[in-house]
Amino acid sequence: MPKPVLYIVACGAPAAPDLPPFVAEMQAAGWDVCVIATPDGLKFLDREALEARTGHPVRSRYKQPAEPDVLPPADAFVVAPATFNTINKMVHGASDTLALGLLNEGLGRGRPIIAMPVVNADLARHPAFPASIDVLRRWGVEVVGSWAELPGAARALLEKQART
């Protein structure tokens, strides 16, 4: 039986280099992990190491229409770290990056999504940010506050996927 596929979307934030241990933990929990990065997220990641670990290319740009999909379809998503920009754009349906396009499709398909916002204090107080977090929660996106909370939330997703 194939493993469920988890897309981890990494945005451009200083917390992005902490992604590899989470990838390893999700693989150990039974997920086939694919990493998608925002264009700025790539600046913070070791792309080659993640590709070697997952066995999948790290994608960051839309493919050409005639090109085949190189990643299996996602069963669930984790956005970590999720930036102010990505959180707000998700709520407004912007798909100007591959990461946002995939997240928006995931929302439209009813796929489970976990987001771990990482923003500075000033951006967290911006009126749009808490409003966007509230909207995402109403839409069923689970919002967690730290890397420490993420594995438990993702394991619960895997258990839920196994039951469906």
Helix axes 150-163, 19-28, angle to 10 degrees: 30
User: Percentage of residues in the chain with pLDDT exceeding 90?
Assistant: 77
Q: What is the pLDDT of residues 91-101, one digit of tens each?
A: 999 999 999 99
Q: What is the arithmetic mean of pLDDT over 115-121? A: 94
**Reported confidence tier of residue 160, pLDDT bands at 50, 70, 90:** confident
Q: Tell me: domain 5-62+70-163, CATH 3.40.50.1950, correct?
A: yes
- Name residue, tokens 């997920």: 31
Give the residue extent of every domain in the chain.
5-62+70-163
Distance CA 99, CA 119 (A): 18
Note the pTM of the prediction, 2 decimals: 0.93
Q: What is the pLDDT of residues 14-44, one digit of tens each?
A: 888 889 999 999 999 999 999 999 999 999 9
Give Cβ neighbours of residue 102 (< 8 Å, ≥ 6 apart).
7, 9, 36, 74, 77
- The per-residue pLDDT for 135 is 97
